[in-house]
């Protein structure tokens, strides 16, 4: 049986096609989010299916997750990203006990029980500071690509101090640092450490190991190491961290949770 998971996130849409008989991912893809999110999601879904020689009818069940999940009327069910991330991580690392997920517009800490179920979670979705959007603003201000932030931070010997917890004020603070001749690498290193500090404050003393890192910000080289140093424990990168929610959605499409 072929199934699909679609994570309609705040910044990007991710689709995973999964074969339940072979127990493997058939295809996965990503595109930028936009105003016509249902069309974008369905176009990506159809393209990936066509590349596998599949038609819409061959996909037996589709689960949507993420901010835009309710807008995807062609999906059979919508499930929260908390549940989907937990299922995606359980497939990769059943021993995981804490998930750090930093996406485009929010950050989450999810605590798992011994069976991989959600025990508790905490989310910051009120401010873009500490998220992928924050890094996009930073990269644009410094005139470098987002994927260049990791190497830039690694080149810094003395990270700048970033005090603001709001992306608007943080951007003003960055402008001030540039005016005072702070190097771009020091600023980037300071921002990445500020993001890690925000996550550490959210998690508190509850970072049960192993810790898995998911979300688009996990793609920034070195961010896992900065989180590990801040939390004081190892942090492992999920495989394809930006697809964890879509993978979990596909797995839940394959085996829907039993209610009651």
Residue 117 to residue 130: CA distance in whole angstroms: 26
Residue 180 to residue 171: CA distance in whole angstroms: 14
| pLDDT score of 258 | 53
Comparing CA positions, the residue from 244, 229, 197 lying closest to residue 66 is 244
| pLDDT score of 130 | 63
Residue 14 to residue 44: CA distance in whole angstroms: 8
Comparing CA positions, the residue from 258, 246, 248, 249 lying closest to residue 76 is 249
**Same structural domain for residues 64 and 140?**
no
How many structural domains compose the chain? 2
**Same structural domain for residues 221 and 249?**
no
**Same structural domain for residues 199 and 111?**
yes
**Same structural domain for residues 248 and 199?**
no
**Same structural domain for residues 226 and 107?**
yes
Averaged over successive runs of 10 residues, the pLDDT of the chain (260 residues) comes to 94 96 95 91 96 92 94 95 96 96 89 94 71 84 90 92 70 85 92 90 89 94 94 95 97 72
| pLDDT score of 222 | 93
**Same structural domain for residues 113 and 186?**
yes
**Same structural domain for residues 24 and 64?**
yes
| pLDDT score of 260 | 38
| pLDDT score of 161 | 84
**Same structural domain for residues 42 and 22?**
yes
Structural domain that includes position 87: 1-93+242-260
**Same structural domain for residues 103 and 1?**
no
**Same structural domain for residues 223 and 189?**
yes
**Same structural domain for residues 1 and 26?**
yes
């Amino acid at each position: 049986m072929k199934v699909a998971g679609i994570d309609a996130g705040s910044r990007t849409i991710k689709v995973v096609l999964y074969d339940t008989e072979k127990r493997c991912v058939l295809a996965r893809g990503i595109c930028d989010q936009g105003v016509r999110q249902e069309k974008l999601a369905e176009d990506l879904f159809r393209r990936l299916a066509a590349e596998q020689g599949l038609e819409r009818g061959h996909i037996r069940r589709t689960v949507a997750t993420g901010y835009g999940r309710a807008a995807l009327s062609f999906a059979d069910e919508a499930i929260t990203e908390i549940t989907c991330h937990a299922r995606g991580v359980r497939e990769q690392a059943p021993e995981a006990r804490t998930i750090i997920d930093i996406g485009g517009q929010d950050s989450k800490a999810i605590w798992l029980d011994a069976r991989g179920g959600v025990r508790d979670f905490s989310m910051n979705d009120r401010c873009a500071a500490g998220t992928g959007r924050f890094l996009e603003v930073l990269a644009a201000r410094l005139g470098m690509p987002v994927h260049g932030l990791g190497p830039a931070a690694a080149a810094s010997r003395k990270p700048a101090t970033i005090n603001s917890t709001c992306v608007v004020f943080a951007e003003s603070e960055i402008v001030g640092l540039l005016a005072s001749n702070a190097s771009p690498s020091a600023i980037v290193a300071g921002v990445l450490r500020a993001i890690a500090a925000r996550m550490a404050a959210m998690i508190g003393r509850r970072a049960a190991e192993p810790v898995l890192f998911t979300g688009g910000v996990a793609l920034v080289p070195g961010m896992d190491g900065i989180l590990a140093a801040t939390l004081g424990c190892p942090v492992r990168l999920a495989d394809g961290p930006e697809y964890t929610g879509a993978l979990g959605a596909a797995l839940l499409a394959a085996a829907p949770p039993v209610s009651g």
